[in-house]
Structure 1
Amino acid sequence: MKKNSYFYIVLITLVATLGGLLFGYDTAVISGAEASLQAYFTDNLGLSSLVHGITVSSALIGCIIGGFVSGFFASNFGRKYSLVLAAALFLISALGSAYPEFLFFAKGDPTTALLVTFNIYRIIGGIGVGLASAIAPMYIGEMAPAHIRGTLVSLNQFAIIFGMLVVYFVNWGIAKGQSLEWINDIGWRYMFLSEAIPAFLFLVLLFTVPETPRYLVSKNQDQKAMTILSKIYEKATAKSTMSDIKASFDKNQAKAKLFAFGKTIVVIGILLSVFQQFVGINVALYYAPRIFESMGAAKDASMFQTIIMGLVNVVFTLIAIFTVDKFGRKPLLIIGSVGMTIGMFGVAGMAFSNAIGIGTLIFIIVYTASFMMSWGPVVWVLISEIFPNKIRGQAVAIAVAAQWAANYFISSTYPAMMEFSGGLTYSFYGVMSLLSAIFVWKFVPETKGKSLEELESVLVKKNTDSNIKAS
Structure 2
Amino acid sequence: MNLSAKKSSSDIYLITAVASLGGLLFGYDTAVISGAVGSLNDFFIKAISNDIVASASAITEFKVIISLCTLAIIALCASFIFRFYKRSTAYAIITAIVVATGAYFYFEFLMIKPELTENLKNSILGFMVSSALVGCIIGAAAGDRIANSIGRRNGLLVSAILFIISACGSGYPEVMNIFLGSSSLTSFIIYRIIGGIGVGLASMLAPLYIAEMAPAKIRGKLVSCNQFAIVTGMLVVYFVNYYIVKGQTVEWINSDGWRYMFLSENIPALLFLVFLLFVPKTPRFQVLKGKETEALATLSKLNGHDDAPFILQDIKNSFNIKKAHWLSYGWGVVIIGLMLSIFQQFVGINVVLYYAPEIFKGMGLGTDASMIQTIIVGLINMLFTVLAIFTVDNFGRKKLMLIGSVFMAISMLGLGSALYLQGDPVVSLLLMLLYIAAFAMSWGPITWVLLSEIFPNKIKGVMAVAVAAQWLANLIVSWTFPLMNNNQGLTEMFNHGFSYWIYGIMALLSALFIWKFVPETKGKALEEIEHLWLKK
Which TM-score band (shorter chain)?
0.7 to 0.9
Partner of 1:287, secondary structure, is: helix
Aligned to 1:278: 346
Given that 1:278 and 1:406 are in contact with CA atoms closer than 8 Å, whether structure 2 keeps it comes out as: yes
User: Does the C-alpha gap of structure 1 residues 13 and 264 become closer, same or farther in structure 2, counting only changes over 3 Å?
Assistant: farther
1:443 deviation in Å? 4.5
Deviations 1:14-70 (A, max 9, x none): 212211111121122223333333343333333442434333332222222222222
Indicate if the aligned counterparts of 2:129 and 2:479 stay in contact, CA closer than 8 A.
no
1:432 and 2:432 correspond: no
CA distance change for structure 1 residues 240 and 463 in 2, over 3 Å: closer, same or farther?
farther
The 2-side partners of 1:205 and 1:384 are apart by 28
**Could you say if the C-alpha distance between residues 175 and 367 of structure 1 is closer, same or farther in structure 2, counting changes exceeding 3 Å?**
closer
1:307 aligns with 2:375: yes
Counterparts of 2:38 and 2:255, CA distance in 1? 11
| Corresponding residue number in structure 2 for 1:124 | 194
Q: Determine which of 412, 415, 421 is the counterpart of 1:347.
A: 415
Alignment match, 1:45? 48
Relative distance call for 1:356 and 1:175 in structure 2 (3 A) is closer
8 Å contact kept, 1:273–1:379:
yes
Contact kept, 8 Å, 1:155 with 1:321, in 2: the verdict is no
247 and 463 in structure 1: CA distance in 2 versus 1, 3 angstrom threshold = farther
Q: What is residue 87 of structure 2 aligned with on the other side?
A: none
| 2:442 alignment partner in structure 1 | 374
Does residue 137 (structure 1) correspond to residue 207 (structure 2)? The answer is yes
- Percent of matched pairs sharing the same residue: 55
Task: Say yes or no: does 1:160 pair with 2:230.
Answer: yes
Distance verdict in 2 for CA 1:357–1:182, change over 3 Å: closer
Change (3 A) 1:250 1:306: same
Question: What CA distance in whole angstroms lies between the structure 1 residues aligned with 2:174 and 2:11?
Answer: 43
1:173 and 2:173 correspond: no
Structure 1 residues without counterparts, runs of 5 or longer: 467-471
Q: What per-residue deviation string (whole Å, max 9, x for no partner) do you get for residues 163-182 of structure 1?
A: 22222222232334545554
Q: CA–CA distance in 1 between the matches of 2:408 and 2:311? A: 39
What do the CA deviations read for 1:341-383 (whole angstroms, capped 9, x no partner)? 3323332443565535322222221110111122222223443
1:10 is matched by which residue type in structure 2? Y
Per the TM alignment, residue 239 of structure 1 is displaced from its structure 2 partner at its CA by 5.4
What is the identity, as a one-letter code, of the residue corresponding to 2:152?
Answer: R
**What is residue 93 of structure 1 aligned with on the other side?**
166
Letter aligned with residue 67 of structure 1: A
Q: Deviations over 1:297-342 (max 9, x none)?
A: 3444333222222221122122123333444544433333333233
Counterpart secondary structure, 1:297: coil
The answer as to 2:534 corresponding to 1:464 is: yes
Range moving further from structure 2, 271-280 or 142-151: 142-151
Match of 1:412 in 2: 479
Question: How far did 1:223 drift?
Answer: 4.8
The worse-fitting range, judged by mean Cα deviation, of 331-340 and 161-170 is 331-340
Conserved in 1, the CA contact under 8 Å of 2:126 and 2:481? no
Counterpart contact for 1:214–1:245, Cα < 8 Å: yes
Q: Secondary structure at the match of 1:127?
A: helix
Q: 2:273 aligns with which of 189, 192, 203?
A: 203
Q: How far 1:200 sits from its partner (Å)?
A: 1.3
Could you tell me which of 142, 154, 157 is aligned with 1:69? 142
1:401 aligns with 2:475: no
Larger Rg computed on CA atoms: 2
User: 2:102 aligns to what?
Assistant: none
Partner residue of 2:111? Answer: none
Against the structure 1 CA distance between its residues 141 and 343, is the aligned structure 2 distance closer, same or farther, given a 3 Å change threshold? farther
Unaligned runs of 5+ in 2: 50-54, 56-115
- Cα 1:378–1:142, aligned 2, differ >3 Å: closer, same or farther? farther
**1:385 CA displacement:** 5.1
TM normalised by structure 1 equals 0.83
SS at the partner of 1:355?
A: coil
Residue from 21, 34, 38 that aligns with 1:35: 38
Go from structure 1 to structure 2 and tell me whether the alpha carbon gap of 1:203 and 1:382 turns closer, same or farther (over 3 Å shift). farther
Residues 43 and 434 of structure 1: CA distance in aligned 2, closer, same or farther (over 3 Å): closer
- Alpha-carbon contact 2:213-2:282 (below 8 Å) kept: yes
Closer, same or farther: CA 115–179 of 1 in aligned 2, 3 Å: same
Contact 1:137 1:381 in 2 (8 A): no
Counterpart contact for 1:89–1:128, Cα < 8 Å = yes
1:82 shift after superposition: 1.9
2:37–2:355: 8 Å Cα contact kept in structure 1? Answer: no
Distance 1:443 1:170 in 2: 42
Pair 1:13 & 2:81 matched: no
Separation (CA, whole Å) in 1 of partners of 2:339 and 2:397: 15
Is this contact kept in 2: 1:71–1:395, CA < 8 A? no
Aligned to 1:469: none
Amino acid at match of 1:338: V
SS in 1 for 2:359: helix
Q: 1:367 to 1:424 in 2, by over 3 A?
A: same
Question: CA 1:270–1:414 in structure 2 vs 1: closer, same or farther (change >3 Å)?
Answer: same
The answer (yes or no) to whether the contact 2:126–2:478 under 8 Å persists in 1 is no
Q: Distance in 1 between matches of 2:317 and 2:454?
A: 17
Number of residue-to-residue matches in the alignment: 455
Aligned counterparts of 1:166 and 1:85: Cα–Cα separation in 2: 23
1:386-407: per-residue Cα shift (whole Å, max 9, x none)? Answer: 5455654x43432221111111
Q: Indicate the SS of the match to 2:183.
A: helix
- Is the partner of 1:29 in helix, strand or coil? helix
Q: Note the aligned Cα RMSD (angstroms).
A: 3.4
Which of the numbers 260, 265, 270 marks the counterpart of 1:190? 260
Go from structure 1 to structure 2 and tell me whether the alpha carbon gap of 1:428 and 1:116 turns closer, same or farther (over 3 Å shift): closer
Alpha carbons of 1:243 and 1:346: their partners in 2 closer, same or farther (altered >3 Å)?
farther
